[in-house]
Chains A and B, each alone.
Chain A
């Protein structure tokens, strides 16, 4: 069993930030203490200290060790992220202004991402127009969608529930509306959904390459905000009933 990417990212985050908080405290407390103790009032005569080689060496070497340690643990996590398990199912993700399309191994296309529970999933990421970034906040991972290139990452769907995908690379007017619901559902339900008709749930989009002009942009924009409720509503039509958990937030 491979270690969970989510746990590894969080652990690395808190180890590095834990060390950082200690260093910040050290610097700040020392600074405040010196400013207090050696204030003009308490210490009218300064001492002439120009430096100290031993101390310089210590505070060069210790941080080197610390950052190398940080590099080492993040490197380990990174290797796990890039090494896709052999049994991973493949979903093709295509970004365009401003929606995601997901294509499954039976050529079924959907703008909602439905995934079976407890599976490794590899995403092959493409773009039709400009740069996008396929970001799954709950799974702590993103990778850019680059036109003319193919990128990838993988996740494990360890948890049933509803999450979301967002676009993290600025792509123009409706960049902040480029969400897609991500449902992790029991495998049998997933199979039923995948093999159900219609196979192509995406509408034929005539303007795959949308020219952006300030004139036509304001018209197309939704004035109401996209909220998690809206994501839930849209996915209810698409997915078989399943015990959908509260919309994802990080703990």
Chain B
């Protein structure tokens, strides 16, 4: 065990937050809680359910793609499936994922706080999330059929289709509120509740990334809120904002949609980048390489991320001048992400690296996310984008960045903070096997899509020309590998929760504040609010210890000889 750098100031007798006596008992202890840790875990259970549902839809879609023509479902079903898959994955998993679960559970502890600034608002956000999620699922079973517009709800098709678009859109509208309130809560918490000595540049990089994310959530989400509301009004009353037959402009919808949804991809990926900046120093036993550049690049991404929405519309007929400007800005926004990757790799240099399960997920992330990021360049480039946009190339790029980025890091976070959240440990060997398994499945599933896209296979196609079949077959086989890997991982984690070996406060030798409190933490995290005197990744104590150990070892060996 590599811990011991930080003494644990807790009395052993204090009950953890699972066992502490609160006002409510049983299920109400969860449903009426204002404890950030319980709320984080409630998000986690809901999210696991939504993720597995949308994953099932994805697997069925891949199965449909096994042969041209009808394999297992009709075109209408397929169109509804990819809409629902997108809506659930984007709005219920990828956007809220890391902030809602790990932001809630870990961020206040990392700041040395007892809870978030507004605990009741935090619970309200969870309820809004649940109402939105249930509404989205509800639209399955009522009315005229599941929405079939794709998760982008492009007008005028979304105005015209008779399927249940209004309910799905309203669900996304409510989820937007949940997102805004969570962002607001974290912003206030980071500004107001940092413990003594926790200056801005002593905050862990995870906190920095949540900070940048929260600003996007608060400033950009209202735009999608009003846009989705306009879609509902347009459908109900024909007010003529987006429908060209009533004098509306369909491109206006795309502008408004992407003014939110492009910054939103940074809501999705920034927190994951923050987690990577936590995991790599811990398992390299040295500080992160370039703390300030990484922190600043988070803010840079958040800022420039607002100005590139037009690159989703290069083929929509926007002016040539605006296409050129959006393309240039798109290339610029690629830079901070690249700089982060370089810094992560450089952190490994001269470290003492232990490849545990969370570290393994993170290393696989660096490889897969780099592919995702680099293939984005041909989509930001003007002439190649006009060939590649709206093909499988985009689908592949998107899944490499989002699933390979946020998804893999969500898995890494699960393994990294698992001992903290449950006070137990999963089976390390099984976890590693599942990580490799997932990586193999992932690349088999999504890489052929790059090839298909370059060959000209458009996205959202129920049917395809026979020459693409070989790639579709490989991809579908990949989906089976990927899903079995994910299931192995989930079973391993569930088994760990039920019967894992008890663990210590700091099983990894982490240096941020969450590793100074017991696993699982007590109700108010800290008996005494800590005072911070160093940066977040100060490994000097441990390095000294390791050096001593090493010297003694060598001495012992010399004596032997």
B160, A227: Cβ atoms closer than 8 Å: no
Interface readout for B291-307 with A: 1 if CB under 8 Å, 0 if not? 11100000000000000
Check A51/B289 contact, CB under 8 A, given A20-B374, A74-B384, A129-B156: yes
B335, A168: Cβ atoms closer than 8 Å: no
Report the nearest A residue to B243, measured CB to CB.
A147
A64, B540: Cβ atoms closer than 8 Å: no
Check A43/B350 contact, CB under 8 A, given A24-B374, A151-B317: yes
A45, B352: Cβ atoms closer than 8 Å: yes
Interface readout for A14-28 with B: 1 if CB under 8 Å, 0 if not? 001100110110011
B386, A140: Cβ atoms closer than 8 Å: yes
What separation, in Å, do the CA atoms of A73 and B456 have in the docked complex?
A: 22
B144, A63: Cβ atoms closer than 8 Å: no
Chain A residues contacting B480 (CB-CB under 8 Å) are none
From B102-110, B269-277, B362-370, B512-520, the one touching the partner chain is B362-370
Q: Chain A's nearest CB lies how many Å from the CB of B160?
A: 6
Q: Chain B's nearest CB lies how many Å from the CB of A219?
A: 10
A133, B390: Cβ atoms closer than 8 Å: yes
Check A138/B75 contact, CB under 8 A, given A16-B378, A39-B355, A47-B350: no
Check A140/B79 contact, CB under 8 A, given A31-B348, A60-B335: no
A16, B381: Cβ atoms closer than 8 Å: yes
B491 within 8 A of partner (CB) = no
What separation, in Å, do the CA atoms of A131 and B454 have in the docked complex?
A: 22
B351 within 8 A of partner (CB) = yes
Chain A residues contacting B411 (CB-CB under 8 Å) are none
Chain B residues contacting A147 (CB-CB under 8 Å) are 156, 244-245, 250
What separation, in Å, do the CA atoms of A225 and B381 have in the docked complex?
A: 34
Chain A residues contacting B249 (CB-CB under 8 Å) are 148
Question: Which one, B148, B289, B384, contacts A16 given CB within 8 A?
Answer: B384
Count A-B pairs with CB separation below 8 Å: 314
B138 within 8 A of partner (CB) = no
Of residues 226 through 265 on chain B, the ones whose CB sits less than 8 Å from some CB of chain A are 244-245, 249-251
Report the nearest A residue to B390, measured CB to CB.
A168
A225, B69: Cβ atoms closer than 8 Å: yes
Report the nearest B residue to A177, measured CB to CB.
B463
What separation, in Å, do the CA atoms of A147 and B289 have in the docked complex?
A: 52
Chain A residues contacting B154 (CB-CB under 8 Å) are 131, 169-170
A225, B68: Cβ atoms closer than 8 Å: yes
A244 within 8 A of partner (CB) = no
Interface readout for A168-189 with B: 1 if CB under 8 Å, 0 if not? 1111111111000000000000
Q: Chain A's nearest CB lies how many Å from the CB of B3?
A: 15
Report the nearest A residue to B352, measured CB to CB.
A46
Question: Which one, A8, A30, A63, A149, contacts B251 given CB within 8 A?
Answer: A149
Interface readout for B314-334 with A: 1 if CB under 8 Å, 0 if not? 011100100110011001101
What separation, in Å, do the CA atoms of A52 and B347 have in the docked complex?
A: 11
Question: Which one, B150, B315, B335, B461, contacts A142 given CB within 8 A?
Answer: B315
Q: Chain A's nearest CB lies how many Å from the CB of B189?
A: 27
Chain B residues contacting A227 (CB-CB under 8 Å) are 68, 465-466
Check A46/B335 contact, CB under 8 A, given A38-B352, A131-B157: no
Chain A residues contacting B163 (CB-CB under 8 Å) are 212-214
A39, B353: Cβ atoms closer than 8 Å: yes
> How many B residues have CB within 8 A of the partner chain?
103
Chain A residues contacting B462 (CB-CB under 8 Å) are 175-176
What separation, in Å, do the CA atoms of A51 and B292 have in the docked complex?
A: 9
B25 within 8 A of partner (CB) = no
A144, B316: Cβ atoms closer than 8 Å: yes
A250 within 8 A of partner (CB) = yes
B161, A45: Cβ atoms closer than 8 Å: no
Check A138/B386 contact, CB under 8 A, given A48-B540, A177-B463: no
B382, A166: Cβ atoms closer than 8 Å: no
B455, A137: Cβ atoms closer than 8 Å: yes
B331, A143: Cβ atoms closer than 8 Å: no
Of residues 82 through 114 on chain A, the ones whose CB sits less than 8 Å from some CB of chain B are 82
Of residues 181 through 205 on chain A, the ones whose CB sits less than 8 Å from some CB of chain B are none
A49 within 8 A of partner (CB) = yes
Question: Which one, B75, B251, B324, B345, contacts A173 given CB within 8 A?
Answer: B75
Check A141/B387 contact, CB under 8 A, given A12-B381, A48-B287: yes
Chain A residues contacting B251 (CB-CB under 8 Å) are 146, 149
A70 within 8 A of partner (CB) = yes
Question: Which one, A12, A43, A146, A212, contacts B383 given CB within 8 A?
Answer: A12
Check A38/B351 contact, CB under 8 A, given A46-B539, A141-B386, A218-B76: yes
Chain B residues contacting A21 (CB-CB under 8 Å) are 374
What separation, in Å, do the CA atoms of A226 and B70 have in the docked complex?
A: 11
Question: Which one, A47, A171, A211, A221, contacts B74 given CB within 8 A?
Answer: A221
Question: Which one, B157, B317, B343, B352, contacts A143 given CB within 8 A?
Answer: B317
What separation, in Å, do the CA atoms of A12 and B377 have in the docked complex?
A: 11
B370, A174: Cβ atoms closer than 8 Å: no
A50, B291: Cβ atoms closer than 8 Å: yes
B353, A56: Cβ atoms closer than 8 Å: no
Report the nearest B residue to A17, measured CB to CB.
B378
B363, A35: Cβ atoms closer than 8 Å: yes
A59, B339: Cβ atoms closer than 8 Å: yes
Chain A residues contacting B387 (CB-CB under 8 Å) are 9, 13, 137, 140-142
Q: Chain A's nearest CB lies how many Å from the CB of B289?
A: 5
Chain B residues contacting A68 (CB-CB under 8 Å) are 331
B390, A49: Cβ atoms closer than 8 Å: no
What separation, in Å, do the CA atoms of A121 and B383 have in the docked complex?
A: 18
What are the 10 A-B residue pairs with the smallest beta carbon separation, nearest first?
A137-B456, A74-B381, A77-B383, A148-B244, A225-B69, A78-B382, A225-B68, A214-B145, A20-B374, A34-B348
Instruction: Known pairs A71-B380, A133-B390, A170-B150; list 16 more (Cβ under 8 Å).
Output: A16-B384, A23-B370, A27-B370, A31-B348, A31-B363, A38-B353, A40-B354, A46-B539, A49-B350, A71-B328, A78-B327, A138-B456, A166-B456, A176-B461, A213-B145, A247-B467
- Selected A-B contacts with CB under 8 Å, 7 pairs: A9-B384, A12-B383, A35-B355, A51-B293, A78-B323, A227-B68, A250-B454
Which A positions have Cβ atoms within 8 angstroms of B?
A: 5, 8-9, 12-13, 16-17, 20-21, 23-24, 27-28, 30-31, 34-35, 38-40, 43-52, 55-56, 59-60, 63-64, 67-68, 70-71, 73-75, 77-78, 80-82, 129-131, 133, 135, 137-138, 140-144, 146-151, 153, 166-177, 211-214, 217-218, 221, 223-228, 247, 249-250
